[in-house]
Amino acid sequence: MTEGTFVAYFRVSTDRQGRSGLGLEAQQKAVSDYLNGGAWKLAGQFIETESGKDNDRPELAKALALCRKRKAKQVIAKLDRLSRNLSFIAALMDSGVEFVATDNPHANRLTIHILAAVAQHEREQIAERTRVALAAARARGTKLGRHGAEVLAVRHKAEATERAQHLVPVFAELADLSTRAAAAELNRRGIPTPTGGQWHPIQVQRTRKRLAA
Q: Which CATH class is domain 3-105?
A: alpha beta
Neighbouring C-alpha atoms within 13 Å toward the C-beta of 3 = 2
The model's pLDDT over 21-58, given as tens digits with 9 standing for 90+, comes to 447 888 888 898 888 877 788 899 999 886 555 567 88
> What is the tens place of the pLDDT at every residue in 173-182?
888 888 888 8
Domain ranges (residues) in the chain: 3-105, 111-212
Instruction: Tell me which of 156 and 109 has the higher pLDDT.
Output: 109
Those residues with Cβ within 8 angstroms of residue 207's Cβ, 6 or more apart along the chain or in another chain: 164, 167, 171, 193, 194
| Chain centroid, CA 143 distance in Å | 33
pLDDT digits (tens, 9 = 90+) for 142-166: 655 544 555 555 555 555 555 666 6
Stretch (H or E) spanning 39: strand 39-49
At 67 the pLDDT is 92
Q: How deeply is 23 buried, as exposed, middle or buried, from its count of CB atoms within 10 A (0-12, 13-18, 19+)?
A: middle
Give the separation between CA 25 and CA 93, rounded to whole angstroms.
26
Spatial CB neighbours of 76, under 8 Å, sequence gap ≥ 6: 8, 9, 10, 27, 31, 82, 99, 100, 101, 102
Cα angle 171, 168, 128 (rounded to 5 degrees) comes to: 90
Contacts of 191 (CB under 8 A, 6+ apart): 167, 170, 199
User: 3-state class of 72 per DSSP?
Assistant: coil
Whole-prediction pTM:
0.53
pLDDT, position 5: 92
Alpha-carbon Rg for the chain in angstroms: 19
